[in-house]
Amino acid sequence: MTQPAVRLYDLEFPALQSLLADWGEPAYRARQLWEWLYVHLATDFDQMTNLPRSLRERLALQATLGVPQVVDTLQSSDGETRKDLLCLEDGETVEAVLMRYRGRRTACISTQVGCAIGCAFCATGQMGFHRNLTSGEIVAQPLHFARVLRDEGQRLTNVVLMGMGEPLLNYEAALAAIRRLIDPQALNVGQRHITLSTVGVVPGIKRLAGEGLQITLAVSLHAATDQLRDQLVPINRRYGLDALFESCYHYVERTGRRISFEWALIQGVNDTPQQAQALAARLEGLLAHVNVIPLNPTRGYDGRPSSRAALNVFTAQLKRYRVPYTVRVRRGVDIQAGCGQLRQRNRPASP
Ligand code: SAH
Ligand code: SF4
pLDDT in tens, 188-198: 999 999 999 99
- For residue 3, the model assigns a pLDDT of 75
CB 333 within 8 A of CB 296: yes
95 carries an active-site annotation? yes
Query: Which stretch of 99-103, 147-151, 172-176, 181-185 has the lowest confidence by average pLDDT?
Result: 99-103
Tell me which residue has its CA closest to atom 20 in ligand 1.
122
pLDDT of residue 79: 83
The reported pTM is 0.95
350 Cβ neighbours under 8 A, 6+ residues apart: none
Ligand 1 residue neighbourhood (C-beta within 6 Å): 115, 121-122, 162, 166, 197-199, 220, 262, 264, 293, 295-296, 298, 338-339
pLDDT 10s digits, 10-47: 999 999 999 999 999 999 999 999 999 999 999 999 99
Closest CA to 282 of 246, 233, 319: 246
What's the pLDDT at 350?
A: 37
Residue 4 clears pLDDT 90, i.e. is over it: no
Active-site residue identified among 25, 95, 166, 262: 95
Q: What is the pLDDT of residues 43-82, one digit of tens each?
A: 999 999 999 999 999 999 999 999 999 999 999 888 889 9
Cα three-residue angle 116-156-179, rounded to 5 degrees: 55
Give the number of whichever ligand sits closest to the CA of residue 331.
1
What pLDDT is stored for residue 102 in this prediction? 83
pLDDT attached to residue 348: 44
Burial string for 58-84 (b: 16+ CB within 10 Å, else e) reads ebeeebbbbebeeeeebebeeeebbbb
For atom 11 of ligand 1, which residue has the closest CA? 339
**Active-site option among 108, 122, 248, 339:** 339
Q: Is 57 a catalytic residue?
A: no
Residue nearest to atom 4 of ligand 2 (CA): 119
**Which residue, by CA, sits nearest to atom 7 of ligand 1?**
199
Phi-psi region of 66 (alpha: psi -120 to 50; beta: other; left: phi over 0): left
User: E-strand spans in the chain?
Assistant: 6-7, 63-64, 69-75, 81-87, 93-101, 104-108, 112-114, 129-132, 158-161, 194-198, 216-220, 259-265, 288-294, 325-327
Query: Is ligand 2 within 6 A of the CB of residue 199?
Result: yes
* pLDDT greater than 50 at residue 351: no
Give the number of the atom of ligand 2 that is nearest the alpha carbon of residue 233.
4
Q: What is the pLDDT of residues 224-269, one digit of tens each?
A: 999 999 999 999 999 999 999 999 999 999 999 999 999 999 999 9
Other Cβ atoms less than 10 A from the Cβ of 91: the count is 7
In which band, very low, low, confident or very high, does the pLDDT at 330 lie, cut at 50, 70 and 90?
A: low
DSSP per residue over 202-229, as a string? HHHHHHHHTS---PEEEEE---SSHHHH
Asked if residue 347 has pLDDT above 70, the reply is no
Mutate to test the pocket of ligand 1, among 194, 197, 329 (most ligand atoms within 8 A of CB): 197
Cβ partners under 8 Å of residue 259, min gap 6? 216, 217, 218, 219, 248, 251, 252, 286, 287, 288, 289
Q: What is the mean pLDDT of the chain?
A: 93
- State mean pLDDT over 107-125: 95
